[in-house]
Amino acid sequence: MKVAFLDRDGTLIKDKHYLSDVNGIEFYNEAISLLKALQRKNFKFIIVTNQSGIARGLITGNQLNLINKKIEMDLSHLGIMILKTYSCPEKSEHPWRKSRPGMLLQAGLDFNINYSQSIVIGDKESDIHSGEKLGMKAFKLKNGNLESGIEDLF
């Protein structure tokens, strides 16, 4: 299976700086269009998101779960299925925290992922580096705008 690993804040949705309420979710229209195009190319989707707001006491695990489920449900209503959302609640040296590839490696254990055909899409260098460490192509999508050449996939 080929997967597009997606960052959440600043890539799929507007970054609200420690989003803690489902009512604050705002998708980038360009990101939705990109996901639909990737889906036509048989990509599956997994969200991988650093969420240090939990370790900082700014958001609870329950709030994070509600937000992630709402994002998955909203995307599902648009015909975009998310296989799973992985979150790292730590704020420092943790194997799951991007730029480390821990969340991507866990996804590989949970699903039959072909990393050589998979990609990473994010708005920060840490997103890009997490995928590159596993040999994946990585693309920057910041505030809904593509900053690097994903056109090669189409």
pLDDT of residue 154: 58
- pLDDT at residue 51 is higher than 90: yes
Cα–Cα dist 49/18, whole Å: 12
Whether this prediction's pTM lies above 0.85 is answered by yes
Per-residue model confidence (pLDDT) at position 151: 64
Q: Does residue 143 carry a pLDDT above 80?
A: no
Can you list the domains of the chain with their CATH numbers? Answer: 3-149 (3.40.50.1000)
Strands (E), the chain: 3-6, 44-50, 82-88, 119-122, 137-142, 145-146
Q: Is the pLDDT of residue 148 over 80?
A: no
Phi first, then psi, for residue 22 (nearest 5°) are -60, -25
Over pLDDT 90: what percentage of the chain? 84
* Tokens 């700014």 -> residue: 58
Residue 141: count of CB within 10 angstroms of its CB? 23
- Region 24-28: mean pLDDT is 96
68-74 average pLDDT score:
98
Using CA of residue 37, residue 38, residue 42, residue 48, what is the dihedral sign?
Answer: negative
**Per-residue pLDDT at 59:** 94
Tell me the C-alpha distance between 5 and 147, whole Å.
17
Residue 12 in this model has a pLDDT that exceeds 70: yes
pLDDT beyond 80 at 65: yes
Query: Active-site positions?
Result: 7, 9
